[in-house]
Chains A and B, each alone.
Chain A
Amino acid sequence: MSRVDGIHDMGGMQGFGHVQQLTAAPPFAEPWEGKAFVIGALAARISGTNMHAFRYAIERVPPREYLAGYWNRWTIAAQTMMEDSGIVTDEEVRARAARLSGQDVPEPPPPTPHKPQMPSGGPGNLRTVDAPSAFAVGDRVRVADLDPTGHTRLPRYVRRRSGTVTALQPAAVFPDTAAAFAGENPQHCYTVEFDSRELWGPDAEPFRLSIDLFEPYLEPEK
């Protein structure tokens, strides 16, 4: 199982150097990137899963491959979802790649599809939650010290930090359960604002950081 502390959870990491130059490049530098985009964008539908599972698949890409380029990890993740649902196997993909490169290798038989079955509450991710929200604008909250296995949208750099709720966002499908096909489990969602010194210590650049956090990630500040 992947943990939250993966390579994808980059907020605050050091050592990546200078930011790239701002250029007005087109979305796809080469034709294969466009095709990669479409395969990834359709992967949830083809594999009978959802976008949370797609993000989780990207998070499970080994760090070396993750850092080898955006469309590289995107494509590997799309394939992972299709493998998980029995649409393709890695052996098939590699055999087909070899054949496309002119090697005469045998092709293994296709797998039997086994898509996950998770009831959907409708299109998109916004939902209503009947339970009243636990927090209100102005409330002080602390981010729970969670260390979940699997997918989460709680970045590690805000874990155990305290901030202020500045907005209630629409309730939405809970990514942590939806990515595992354990149910949409809709949750309230809050914009929480942190002082930079709370996150990075007394010598931090002065600024405020806002981030959107689902209710299960939060507890009242003691």
Chain B
Amino acid sequence: MTSASEHLDPALRVEALASLLTERGLIDETTVENFIKTYEQSVGPMNGAKVVARAWTDPEYRAWLLADGTAAIAELGFKGPQGEHIVVLENTPTLHHVVVCTLCSCYPWPVLGLPPSWYKDPAYRSRVVREPRQVLREFGLDLDDSVEIRVHDSSSEVRYMVLPERPAGTEGATEEELAALVTRDAMVGVAKVAAA
């Protein structure tokens, strides 16, 4: 047995906890498996991509989305934990929004799923509120000096999602084709959407 301060392999800790909680009737295998499947298959950036594609093709929806993100997103069927109040930020050729949570890893689950590794990493959380232009450059996004940057630290129950710019050359694309172009990283504001 290890002492309380000694590092316990996290995979083993999880197994031990799961075993004790199952014994006590506090979790069961089916619930755990369904939960995992939900966040692996149904709740992820493909949801946000549909929201973005709708906003790109329907000006009324876009206006609603920017005025009341939570309601406009719920209209497409996306709601749930970490999505009680979602604010959508529109990126333009002159204004670039980027989202972080410096205190933990708050993220709009219903539209983007669970946060990726880089979003939870100390380097991103510590630096993007201090040198965002440099951080974006490291991600491969070199913004012109004339583009204004606005960083959003998700410190309350408000969750933020970026509406990226629609790429040039997609004029004839259908909503479905457009959704396939939209990436998770563009909806956090660390990348742009590229035409196929």
Contacts and interface: CB of A to CB of B under 8 A. Distances in A.
Binding between chains A and B: yes
Interface in B114-146: 114, 116-118, 120-127, 129-135, 138-140
Contacts of A68: 7, 10
A38 B132 contact: no
A208 B123 CA distance: 20
Interface in B148-167: 148-158
A38 B153 contact: no
Contacts, number: 248
Contacts of B120: 70
A211 B122 contact: no
B14 A75 contact: yes
B173 interface: no
Interface in A50-72: 55, 58, 62, 64-65, 67-72
A5 to B, nearest CB: 12
A54 B135 CA distance: 29
B191 interface: yes
A24 to B, nearest CB: 7
Looking at chain B, what size class is its interface with the partner chain? 35 or more
B129 A157 contact: yes
B14 A13 contact: no
A119 interface: no
B165 to A, nearest CB: 18
B103 A19 contact: no
Interface residues of chain B: helix, strand, loop or mixed (majority)? mixed
A38 B151 contact: no
Interface in B1-55: 1-2, 4-5, 7-21, 24, 26-27, 31-32, 35-36, 39-40, 44
Interface residues of chain A: helix, strand, loop or mixed (majority)? mixed
B108 interface: no
Contacts of A125: 84, 157
A32 B16 CA distance: 11
A94 B8 contact: yes
A105 interface: yes
Interface residues of A, number: 90
Nearest to B123: A16
B102 A10 contact: yes
Given A88-B17, A100-B15, A212-B155, A42 B129 contact: no
Contacts of A9: 102-103
23 contacts: A9-B103, A10-B103, A10-B125, A11-B125, A11-B129, A12-B102, A13-B126, A22-B140, A27-B114, A32-B11, A32-B15, A91-B1, A94-B1, A95-B1, A100-B12, A126-B85, A170-B85, A189-B158, A199-B129, A207-B133, A208-B150, A211-B152, A211-B153
Given A12-B126, A26-B40, A157-B130, 18 more contacts: A11-B129, A11-B153, A12-B129, A27-B39, A34-B36, A37-B36, A79-B13, A91-B4, A100-B12, A100-B19, A153-B103, A173-B157, A205-B149, A206-B149, A208-B150, A209-B129, A209-B153, A214-B156
The 7 closest A-B CB pairs, nearest first, are: A11-B102, A212-B156, A20-B118, A34-B36, A96-B16, A32-B11, A207-B149
